[in-house]
Amino acid sequence: MIKIVAVGKIKEKFSKAQIEEFEKRLRPFTRLEMIEVADEIAPQTNSDAQNEQVKEKEGERLLSKIKDNEYVILLDLWGEMISSEKFAEKLEKLQTYQSSNITFVIAGSLGPGKNIYQRANYRWKLSDLTFTHQMTRILVLEQIYRAFMILNHNPYHK
């Protein structure tokens, strides 16, 4: 099973439609669960200490949705960037040898708190570019779908 746990709600219809399309495409390969947790208000006038509190609170909400037996992949600006082929290999090895329950975590706009970093088994960087949280969810779903296509020798990847 693959689970995506993210801070904030998807509001835009076009983003929801893209997410639903990838959910549908993934059904033959895996069970998918999407969980959203509430975000904290974080004005730009917040101090560093206040921002850390926001990240920890959001982290607690995220952690409450993660079980002990899940392998956690944190989307992180300082994580490892890998190719789609390497990502597919990683998913296959994880599901075969480590855990059939893989959870992707997308933290809030301030990034992950220390509590999420401590729980993460792997930190994955999608790109050097910055994306909205809505776009990040779509990109993660697309890469998961692409990985299954690669593993099944499907021409989608070309």
Residue 47 marked as a ligand binder: no
- Is 126 labelled a binding residue? yes
Report yes or no: 106 and 137 within 8 Å, Cβ to Cβ: yes
Assess contact for 103 and 70: CB atoms under 8 A: yes
Q: Which residues of 51-90 are buried (b: 16+ CB within 10 A; e: fewer)?
A: beebbebbbebbbebbeeebbbbbbbeeeeeeeeeebbeb
120 in a known ligand binding site: no
User: According to the annotation, is 129 in a ligand binding site?
Assistant: yes
CA distance to 2, 65, 104, 106, 136, per residue, from 55 (Å) = 24, 16, 17, 12, 18
Ligand-binding site membership of 68 (annotated): no
Q: Is 131 annotated as a binding residue?
A: yes
What gap in Å lies between CA 87 and CA 25, rounded to an integer?
18
Q: Which residues contribute to the annotated binding site?
A: 75, 107, 126-131
Q: Which residues contribute to the annotated binding site for S-adenosyl-L-methionine?
A: 75, 107, 126-131
